[in-house]
Amino acid sequence: MIQAIHVSKRYGPTTAVDDVTVTIKKNRITSLIGPNGAGKSTLLALMSRLAPMDQGDVLVEGRSVRSWDSMELARKVAILKQTNHLSLRLTVRDLVGFGRFPYSQGRLTKADMEHVDQAIEYMNLGDLQHKFLDELSGGERQRAFIAMVVAQDTEYVLLDEPLNNLDMKHSVQIMKVLRRLVDELGKTVVLVLHDINFASSYSDDIVAMKHGRVVAHGSVEEIIRQDVLHDVYDMQFDIHEFDRCKVCLYFLPELTVAR
């Protein structure tokens, strides 16, 4: 599991993460939700050692992230940032191959290539694998970057807003792939989501953040509630259940909340 213990991060006078303690359970999808500026992306970066902490510690499998060798940590935890820009002109297959760097240091073996093939198949990128990234749509590039993370084959997969630039069809495809990574391969997925209906439908656990703090943490049943979501987002929600899945309505012109 991953444990953040009294973690804080400041950027100048702004406190992005404020004394957060939270435990991420293994073999589950945990979604981080909350308004812009809540500290979700920063917390994800602290968990992966992508950003240094000003206070507290993060433990991966009981060990402080500060004590892990970089390559060792990269074989345990993979992270995909919200924005990814490369100056190199790469094909999709080249990019996915980068996911094997912690194992191959750039010299791909037959086993590495098998992981690349599997990741490309997982993300349904077979027809695009020899295209250059600058020839792809934003959604196609996002899927390619996620395939790179899948190829890294880590126990923990951290994704910062992975549905960015994706249409409805491909957003659903990505979430189904993440569900399969957990259910079939035993991965642990932590992701930042703005669409709470995706969080409700695909998550096992939800961490709700606001003003740099965790304000609620629990199962979908515990978090997807009118009172909890109102406290997090300062707006009204109408929640309905369809086939054991909770759906949140919040965009209607005149929302009347069911009591």
Q: What is the CATH number of domain 1-68+195-259?
A: 3.40.50.300
- Give the pLDDT of residue 255: 52
DSSP assigned state of 132:
B
What number is the average pLDDT over the span 74-94? 85
Average pLDDT over residues 248-256: 71
Domain boundaries defined on the chain: 1-68+195-259
Instruction: Write down the pLDDT at residue 87.
Output: 64
Note the pLDDT tens digit of each residue in 157-204.
Answer: 999 999 987 889 889 988 998 999 999 989 999 999 999 999 999 999
- Please give the C-alpha separations between residue 73 and each of 2, 68, 98, 131, 235, in angstroms, as whole numbers: 12, 6, 16, 31, 40
User: Which sign does the torsion angle of CA 41, 173, 175, 231 carry?
Assistant: positive
How many C-beta atoms surround the C-beta of residue 84 within 10 A? 15
- Residue 242 has a pLDDT of 86
- Dihedral sign for Cα atoms in the order 80, 82, 88, 89: positive
21-36: average pLDDT:
97
Q: Which residues contact 166 (CB under 8 A, 6 or more apart)?
A: 139, 142, 143, 174
The residue with greater pLDDT, 137 or 102, is: 102
pLDDT of residue 8: 97
Confidence band, pLDDT 50/70/90 cuts, at residue 259: very low
Q: Is 60 helix (H, G, I), strand (E, B) or coil?
A: strand
pLDDT above 70 for 7: yes
Integer-rounded Cα radius of gyration of the chain = 19
Separation of alpha carbons 200 and 211, rounded Å: 22
Banded pLDDT at 142 (limits 50, 70, 90): confident
Q: Could you tell me the pLDDT band of residue 107, with boundaries at 50, 70 and 90?
A: confident
Return the percentage of the chain with pLDDT > 70, whole number. 95
Mean pLDDT of the chain: 91
pLDDT at 57 over 60: yes
Closest by CA position to 124, among listed 111, 109, 110, 142: 142
Quote the pLDDT of residue 11.
94
- For residues 201 and 221, what is the distance between their CA atoms, to the nearest angstrom? 11
Percent of the chain with pLDDT over 90: 75
For residue 65, give both structure tokens. 């992230």
- Residues whose CB falls within 8 Å of the CB of residue 130, separated by 6 or more in sequence, listed in order: 91, 92, 93
In this prediction, residue 85 carries a pLDDT of 66
Q: Whole-model pTM? A: 0.89
Residue 150: the pLDDT is: 92
Q: Which residue has the higher pLDDT, 84 or 107?
A: 107
Choice between 76 and 106, residue whose per-residue pLDDT is larger? 76
The number of angstroms, rounded, from the C-alpha of 3 to the middle of its chain's C-alpha atoms is 16
Tell which residue, 48, 82, 79, has the closest CA to residue 162: 82
Band of pLDDT at residue 138, cut at 50, 70 and 90 = confident
pLDDT at 46: 96
